[in-house]
Amino acid sequence: MSDGMTVIDTPEGIEAYRMLAIYHRIKLEILGMQFRINTCAAVRRELGLPARTPRKKVLAAWEAAMDERGIRYGK
């Protein structure tokens, strides 16, 4: 009997989950939600974007990184 849980135990699966979580956090920051750690700033550093890159451009760059890795996300 299945209890509805999914186990992500491969490095690729863990990275995909991390990228999806960050994707949704960026979308929430665009809507105005604030987190203790600024997700957009962390993504800017990770992708090497300039410090004043607008959030929507950060989201587009993150989507491109996800597309490059073949990670599906809801548009």
pLDDT at 55: 96
Q: Indicate whether 2 pLDDT > 80.
A: no
Which tens digits make up the pLDDT trace of 43-68?
A: 999 999 999 999 999 999 999 999 99
Which tens digits make up the pLDDT trace of 13-32?
A: 999 999 999 999 999 999 99
pLDDT at 75: 66
Cα 43 to chain centroid distance, Å, stands at: 8
Q: Where are the domains of the chain?
A: 11-69
Rg, Å, the chain Cα set: 14
Q: Indicate whether 1 pLDDT > 60.
A: no
Cα 14 to chain centroid distance, Å, stands at: 12
pLDDT at 40: 95
